Amino acid sequence: MNAARVWLVGAGPGDPGLLTLKAARVLARAEVVVHDHLVAPEILAMVPRRAELIYAGKQRGRHTLTQDKINALLVRLARRGKRVVRLKGGDPFIFGRGGEEAQALARAGIRFEVVPGVTAAAGVAAYAGIPLTHRDLAQACVLVTGSRRRGAAELDWKALARPDQTIVVYMGLPGLERISRELIAHGLSPRTPAAIIQQGTTATQRVVAGTLAALPRLAVEAQLRAPTLIVIGRVVRLRNALDWFVP
């Protein structure tokens, strides 16, 4: 480990086997671990007993700590000379607010290191049997968030509705009906294949697949709950043939 005081570590999308070797090495030397609610218990069990565990999870409508308080906590712990690991589900820099935390550390003059993780788009889609790109079906893949800060710019629905690309929506379950409606209104066929995956890569993974127009209704009927990932595009058709993972 180098002279960094804080490590922003991606824990992967759920399956503890997807944790990287570097992440495991960093965890083994941690003195404090500030973790999210999506981190698998098996990964938290790897933290040394001497280390302090601090829960800073965020769920819809329930934030243990605000982002500003998490930023301040990381700075405060680092200034005490602790080796701090900020452990996050997926990848820190892909809809994980790791960029905001890194900015706070940089402003405070604290050295940090980023340990990338398998992001949900890659891991969850793969475990659902959906390749995000395919030479015949999708020449691009777009990652977007369905959760927006107040006053944030609107999504570019017209660009998202372009053909021959895969759309992956993080945190999109609450806005699924609007996502479907806007994409159809901006040119995407209502019959576009789409899927929503709950708790992907874990033993409780569930996949609901259908058309873009029908997906909001199917999700309600299946009583899906966060965390979920939405995948929209022709590659979803391959799921039936490529569905390899048995929870």
User: Distance between CA atoms of 225 and 246, rounded to whole angstroms?
Assistant: 20
The DSSP symbol for 11 reads: -
User: Distance between CA atoms of 15 and 201, rounded to whole angstroms?
Assistant: 5
Active site residue 58: yes
DSSP β-bridge partners for residue 62: 59
Active site residue 22: no
| Tokens found for residue 83 | 């080796």
**Phi and psi at residue 18, to the nearest 5°:** -90, 0
- Name residue, tokens 């569905």: 243
Most distant pair of Cα atoms in the chain: their distance:
56
User: Distance between CA atoms of 228 and 219, rounded to whole angstroms?
Assistant: 10
At 27 the three-state DSSP class reads helix
Which sign does the torsion angle of CA 191, 196, 200, 204 carry?
Answer: negative
- Which of 15, 22, 36, 69 is catalytic? The answer is 36
Q: Chain centroid to CA 3: how far?
A: 28
The DSSP symbol for 138 reads: B
Q: Chain centroid to CA 136: how far?
A: 27
- Which of 22, 58, 82, 243 is catalytic? The answer is 58
- Catalytic machinery residues: 36, 58
